[in-house]
Structure 1
Amino acid sequence: MVIERGGLCNEAGYWVKGDGGHKRGFGLVEELKKADATTLPQLLKYATDKHGDAHCLGTRQMIARERKVENGKKLEKLKFGDYNYLTYVDVQDMVVNFSKGLYSNGMRSGDRIAMFAETRAEWFVAALGCLRHNVAVVTIYTNLADDSIVDCINETEVSFVVTSYDILPRLMKIIPRCPNVSQIIVIEDQLEGVGSVQSDGIIITPFKEVLSMGESCEDYSHTAPAEEDIAIIMYTSGSTSHPKGVQLTHVNIMWAIKAYLVQADLTLGDRYLAYLPLAHVMELGTELAMLALNVTIAYSSPMTITSTSPKIMKGTLGDAKVAQPTCMSAVPLILERIIKGVTKVIEDQGYLKAKIFSEALKFKQRQDRPSFSSRVLDAIIFNRIKEELGGQLRMLVVGGAPLSPETHNKFRAIFGCTIQVGYGATETAASATSMDSDDPRTGHCGPPNLGVLIQLKDWEEGGYLSTDKPYPRGEIIVGGPMISKGYFKLPAETEESFYEEDGVRWFRTGDVGEFDDTGVLHVIDRKKDLVKLNNGEYVSLGNVESTLKTHPLIESLCTYAYSGATAVVGIVVPVVDRLLKLGVSLGYTEDANVKDLCCDEKVTNAVLQEIQAHGKKRGLGRWDIPSAIFLSSESWTPESGLVTAALKIRRKNVKEHFNSAIEKMYNSLNIAE
């Protein structure tokens, strides 16, 4: 069975194409076609010709910085002013000048350049400047481990790296291990410029100097990219293995952009808050789509979004309050943290306010559509909370991992915005399926995107078949013009994951899906997450984790079971404030040591009981719920190797790191039996 967007399955096994999406979006797709905008530089030219002096990219003015050390940790606090905006004409001029500046520095069409910097306007401009010069952009997450960064740079044999003032010291420590690199372009800090750095023979060039070189360059010559040329070599975050370089062409990314245009009900006057890594395909594709939609992009960071964010100086407003975005993107982990943060603030105000908030939230979650009562609750309770994200948010796009129905419902009720869950992968240019904005349901990822075909292939070992009733199930295979050419310098892995059939290129996702009778996709499992217990029951570890981590006590969670095990066990990183509160109820003082609490069997059992009750309440089966847990007092970061740069769990690494704890849990379970 092959599934296409909209309608019902026809006799040939294809789903009849429907009109799902916004009419204006289909009109924009036609405009791009008429403008012959088939590459990303042509997309920018189309947007500039159409939008001209409208605001395009915004950056907040940095006024002051404070650095201090507390409890042995280095802290930085920033004071910001208003946003300063570049128009579309400004951005186009900078892109042209950066392209010419690269030429002045010896870069030629067909070369490659690495982008190793945080999300910001200069990243976006530099990348488009490279692409205009037909230089492929190698994107590298800033929070990858040093060894992985070195491997990405050396594997692609880049001689130029674009980085930022903040990351330059780290890059200089590892650059001796990258013999091909001869020049580093540094995006300046607003207050300190490039700063002082020991170059050790490497040419250090400020970003603005490259622009100046381009402005004065008179003999510029380049070959414009074709739609089938490689635009991006995007390194995955590596949840199951070493990061792989996914080769994405201009046409791959343009199809993902078209899909976004059709789905997003956005136009002039809308504002997008950009803070996710541009090294992630979802964020890059989204920001490029904003160009065509005439949506202003205001840049932020995870450390400065709200007024209580870690790097915001006291008395300074968070980025969201200043930018007042109408649309944002997020991954489920961000939404879960926001909800837990809001709940904690309310609970700290006392039992009565917490109870009122809880009941009001439950009421709003039961509403199918806005009502007079829900508007009253907004005015009394929720509008104050909405202000933390600017008070204007009406559309949120979520991807990167499954979003639990509980989180979906709560966030939508609190912030009063539509939530469109999407499904995709770097290998599909982030485009596979996405929810329609007027779909109130949760727990699914919508129908296939524009141009996408999806097959469900039988996976007999896991018990998932396309002939299953009432709905077909199987491994999700995505096909269409958005599918990558394959992995950089990895022919065996490319052959294993990609194939051509009937003139269509396909990618095997490794995820298991189910289509219901309305044509929307439910991602129900992942092949590598499915474990068969000794009683014959299959357990989806990923599904267990996405369900349990909605509990306010859990910061991070990894469940584990070996094939033939008697039960599931879990490694839990607790939320410190919640754990301390639980400790007080068990006789500990308010300033108890977190490590001591994590080692206390009485505390561990109390957390386990909370998790088990939560899992049962959320509909997990008897065999899904962990029978034992281990509490870890250390947060999991990409640097530790326990989560990816996109904050997905690296199950194998967690298992190896906590192997002795896992063995101890199973030994205790066997003794109990």
Structure 2
Amino acid sequence: MSGVGRKIEGLITNLLIFFGDVVALITYIPNYILALRDITMSQRQRALPSGSSEKEIIYDHADVVENRHSNVNSFYKDAKSVYEQWKIAVERFKHRDCVGYRQILSEEDEKQPNGKIFQKYVMGGYTWLSYAEIEEAADDFGRALAVLVGKNNREKELSNNNIVIFSETRYEWMVAFLGCAKYNLTVVTLYSTLSEEAVLHGIVESEASILVASADGLCKIKRIERERSSHNVSTIVWFPNQIDKVTKSEFPKNIEVFNYEQCLQLGRNKRERMPGPRNPASLSDLAVIMYTSGSTGLPKGVMLTNENLLAAIETLPEYIQGIGVGDTYIGYLPLAHVLELTCELICVFYGCRIGYSSPHTLSDKGTKIRKGDVGDAVVLRPTLLTAVPLVMDRIYKGVLDLVKTMSTPKRILFNFAMTYKGRQVARLFPTPIVDFIVFRKIKNSLGGRVRYLLSGGAPLSASTHEFMKICFSCPVIQGYGLTETTGGISCVDKYDMELGQVGGPTRGASIKLVDWEEGNYLVTDLPNPRGEIVIRSKQVAGGYYKNEEKTEEAFVKDSNGDMWFYSGDIGEIDSMGRLKIIDRKKDLVKLATGEYVSLGKVEMLIKTNRFVECVMVYAESTENYTVCVVVPNEKATLELATQLEIESKSIEELCKNEKIKQAIFDDIKAHGQQKKLDRSEMPQKMVLTPLVWTPDTGLVTDSFKLKRKELSRTFANELAAMYKQRAN
């Protein structure tokens, strides 16, 4: 489009915005009256100081400080374990749908425009299992595991009830978890995308004699056979795929093997001998050893008790109004992650049904979805969906790319609608006409019924947060938590329109800010106190499994005997008691000039650039500037090549092209200026790489957090070369 055309388009858009402002002014009073309750709720105090000293300040939920009670009814106040809570849910929702999976009928080859052949699924609809059916399966599965554990312990003279689950998210995973919960067996969770070394580390350290794995998972741990003497695994229970057949030769030798159905049958056969658990779980019993994603080295096993999980499950329903039997949740994130596990447990305990999916089949553009077919979200039509920020960033960029290809009238209408609705949403006013005309198609891409989007695992940028709220016409609930706190200990409520923050502490959590003098973050800072985030809650874990040194570093008891977890994250709390994550100790680098740079903050802002798929910002403390490694967005980069009249259409070749590199770097620098990055923060050198950063490559975690050590090692030559060059 010519410069004149852009000016005309901008003029028309501004005229429409002016017209929208006039309409907003005319309808302001009736909209204000209708939204008065929501506006009042938005102005509530989220947290209040409950204690302080010279170098620290403690905040608690405002209702707790002022002795106001929660309006959320809990059916589970007397439950003493996760299984007891599940049993109550089964009694209440016995014949309702509990979990479902989509049928994969076959697999076929599909030729791509570039000539490559990809395998795609031919898929059917969802098959559902009731609460009663899942309870029966969990009972039989758990009984079988208890029998097998007892046999293995006797044979090896062990006293270990740990069961390793190494599988992608699927309904059988939840069956195995609930079965272990009933028979007081400790579940050891390992991400299905962990490296072979990390998986073996978890198996060896946990001393588990039983490994529950998917067929795909078994292919990734061949070392379990080669290093037979280093672990105790005597039994493997595996979940078969719907279409791939696994042969006996693919299993490690000299290890007892059961498939899922055989394990259930074993449990059925032992019903008379073992009608129930001999030692039912209590609050203090260890429910899960959840191995972290290993972003800074080998993963650590976080010890979570039944009390930890029950406390976490009790908090979230307050932020999802009306959660219950009318809801459908789509499960596709790793169940080995505390966010997904707690979300799914909350859903089944409140009568929601869970439809299982995968990142490859979630949307119409999934890598396993045939051209012309629809993804799981469209078939399932969920009302609740959880996503990590990277997924939302990709949706954001995808829609913006689509807008560029629209006709001029449609693009003008979309840009007007974004501005108009953004202003109305900030006032908590409805926009039904704009939603129907402009945003209905985007909302329908996830089934059209999503009423809450949940975000966790990493910080969500303000621009993406706002975009998702506008386009999907629903609250985007962002929280803050860690594996060590059994998930969320702060959460944004649906009435809070302030972007870039993660809400106040939940009712059961206290958040303490402690001075971090090295980074110059102090509780006496103005306008808001800042410091390291330290957490006290029933959700705080008991420590790291068999790792006293790391436990003593992060888990500290105060003089009252209360346990506090030192997160390593830096936060500030505003006048309304809302927490904002502003830095991380490990991400803060001091340059040779004495200036501090938060690598994570810079990355979060740069990755919203249209050309950036992934980015790692890097700094040497002996240098006075930062550099970055960027994985370019392939579609945007190919379009740029066309604009620059570069013939090559290979992303590998384009990453080496100097014109492409300079154009992308210039755009990133302009984007950084727009986001108000200082010169010390803005990378002065950049390399492009076609290498995709996925959990499978070992460069990011399952929640897509950067593994800095692995990335620095992988791109060591490129990083060294950038510092040999002179910065601009």
Q: Is the TM value for this pair above 0.5?
A: yes
Q: What is the rounded CA distance, in whole Å, between the counterparts of 2:488 and 2:476 in structure 1?
A: 17
Q: Give the number of aligned pairs.
A: 660
- Structure-2 residue corresponding to 1:115: 165
- Structure-2 residue corresponding to 1:544: 602
Aligned mate of 1:51, from 78, 82, 93: 93
- Structure 2: stretches of 5+ with no match in the other structure: 1-44, 154-158
Taking structure 1 as reference, are residues 449 and 7 closer, same or farther at Cα in structure 2, changes over 3 Å only? closer
Q: What is the rounded CA distance, in whole Å, between the counterparts of 1:664 and 1:305 in structure 2?
A: 40
Amino acid in structure 2 at the alignment position of 1:618: K
How far apart are residue 146 of structure 1 and its match? 1.1
Two-structure CA RMSD over aligned residues (Å): 2.3
The answer to whether the 8 Å contact 1:347/1:353 transfers is no
Amino acid in structure 1 at the alignment position of 2:73: L
Query: So what's the TM-score if we normalise by structure 1?
Result: 0.93
- Structure-1 residue corresponding to 2:141: 98
How far apart are residue 205 of structure 1 and its match? 0.7
- Structure-2 residue corresponding to 1:365: 422
The answer to whether the 8 Å contact 1:116/1:140 transfers is yes
- Structure-1 residue corresponding to 2:280: 224
> CA deviation digits over 1:228-265, x for unaligned, max 9?
11111111111122211111111111111011122221
Q: What is the rounded CA distance, in whole Å, between the counterparts of 2:653 and 2:116 in structure 1?
A: 21
Amino acid in structure 2 at the alignment position of 1:118: E
> CA deviation digits over 1:381-440, x for unaligned, max 9?
211111110000110111111111000011111111101111011011012211112211
The answer to whether the 8 Å contact 1:481/1:505 transfers is no
Name the SS of the counterpart of 1:171 in structure 2.
coil
Amino acid in structure 2 at the alignment position of 1:223: N
Q: What is the rounded CA distance, in whole Å, between the counterparts of 1:369 and 1:122 in structure 2?
A: 44
Matched, 1:561 2:601: no
Taking structure 1 as reference, are residues 11 and 176 closer, same or farther at Cα in structure 2, changes over 3 Å only? closer
Name the SS of the counterpart of 1:531 in structure 2.
strand
Q: What is the rounded CA distance, in whole Å, between the counterparts of 1:533 and 1:198 in structure 2?
A: 52
- Structure-2 residue corresponding to 1:185: 237
Name the larger-Rg structure.
2
- Structure-2 residue corresponding to 1:206: 259
Matched, 1:338 2:395: yes
The answer to whether the 8 Å contact 2:240/2:259 transfers is yes
The answer to whether the 8 Å contact 2:201/2:298 transfers is no
How far apart are residue 215 of structure 1 and its match? 1.8
Q: What is the rounded CA distance, in whole Å, between the counterparts of 1:26 and 1:452 in structure 2?
A: 17
Aligned mate of 1:162, from 212, 220, 223: 212
Name the SS of the counterpart of 2:261 in structure 1.
helix
Aligned mate of 2:653, from 572, 584, 596: 596
How far apart are residue 361 of structure 1 and its match? 2.2
How far apart are residue 24 of structure 1 and its match? 11
Amino acid in structure 1 at the alignment position of 2:176: A
Matched, 1:496 2:553: yes
Mean Cα deviation higher: 5-14 or 255-264: 5-14
Q: What is the rounded CA distance, in whole Å, between the counterparts of 1:381 and 1:191 in structure 2?
A: 40
The answer to whether the 8 Å contact 2:213/2:236 transfers is yes
- Structure-2 residue corresponding to 1:573: 631
> CA deviation digits over 1:448-500, x for unaligned, max 9?
11211111111001000111111110000111211111111111111111111
Amino acid in structure 1 at the alignment position of 2:309: I
How far apart are residue 11 of structure 1 and its match? 6.7
Q: What is the rounded CA distance, in whole Å, between the counterparts of 1:111 and 1:392 in structure 2?
A: 42
- Structure-1 residue corresponding to 2:294: 238
Name the SS of the counterpart of 1:588 in structure 2.
coil
Mean Cα deviation higher: 335-344 or 280-289: 335-344
The answer to whether the 8 Å contact 2:384/2:450 transfers is yes
Name the SS of the counterpart of 1:314 in structure 2.
coil
How far apart are residue 364 of structure 1 and its match? 2.2
Aligned mate of 1:8, from 48, 64, 77: 48
Written as runs of structure 1 = structure 2, the 5 A alignment for 1:290-309 is 290-309=347-366
The answer to whether the 8 Å contact 1:187/1:194 transfers is no
Matched, 1:260 2:316: yes
> CA deviation digits over 1:598-628, x for unaligned, max 9?
1222221111111111111122223211111
Q: What is the rounded CA distance, in whole Å, between the counterparts of 1:62 and 1:138 in structure 2?
A: 29
Taking structure 1 as reference, are residues 198 and 655 closer, same or farther at Cα in structure 2, changes over 3 Å only? closer
Name the SS of the counterpart of 2:652 in structure 1.
helix
The answer to whether the 8 Å contact 1:24/1:262 transfers is no
How far apart are residue 133 of structure 1 and its match? 1.2
Amino acid in structure 2 at the alignment position of 1:535: T
How far apart are residue 68 of structure 1 and its match? 7.0
The answer to whether the 8 Å contact 1:236/1:246 transfers is yes
Identity of aligned residues (%): 38
Name the SS of the counterpart of 1:543 in structure 2.
helix
Taking structure 1 as reference, are residues 7 and 308 closer, same or farther at Cα in structure 2, changes over 3 Å only? closer
Taking structure 1 as reference, are residues 59 and 427 closer, same or farther at Cα in structure 2, changes over 3 Å only? same
> CA deviation digits over 1:495-541, x for unaligned, max 9?
11111112211111100000000001000000111122233322111
Aligned mate of 1:149, from 182, 199, 222: 199
Taking structure 1 as reference, are residues 554 and 15 closer, same or farther at Cα in structure 2, changes over 3 Å only? closer
Written as runs of structure 1 = structure 2, the 5 A alignment for 1:457-476 is 457-476=514-533
Amino acid in structure 1 at the alignment position of 2:611: L
The answer to whether the 8 Å contact 2:47/2:61 transfers is yes
Mean Cα deviation higher: 146-155 or 165-174: 165-174
How far apart are residue 661 of structure 1 and its match? 1.7
Mean Cα deviation higher: 292-301 or 306-315: 306-315
Taking structure 1 as reference, are residues 188 and 411 closer, same or farther at Cα in structure 2, changes over 3 Å only? same
Written as runs of structure 1 = structure 2, the 5 A alignment for 1:528-543 is 528-543=586-601
How far apart are residue 106 of structure 1 and its match? 4.1
- Structure-2 residue corresponding to 1:633: 690
- Structure-1 residue corresponding to 2:156: none
Query: So what's the TM-score if we normalise by structure 2?
Result: 0.86
Amino acid in structure 1 at the alignment position of 2:605: T
Written as runs of structure 1 = structure 2, the 5 A alignment for 1:373-392 is 374-392=431-449
Q: What is the rounded CA distance, in whole Å, between the counterparts of 1:633 and 1:90 in structure 2?
A: 47
Matched, 1:451 2:491: no
Aligned mate of 1:76, from 87, 104, 119: 119
Matched, 1:28 2:73: yes
Taking structure 1 as reference, are residues 7 and 578 closer, same or farther at Cα in structure 2, changes over 3 Å only? closer
- Structure 1: stretches of 5+ with no match in the other structure: none
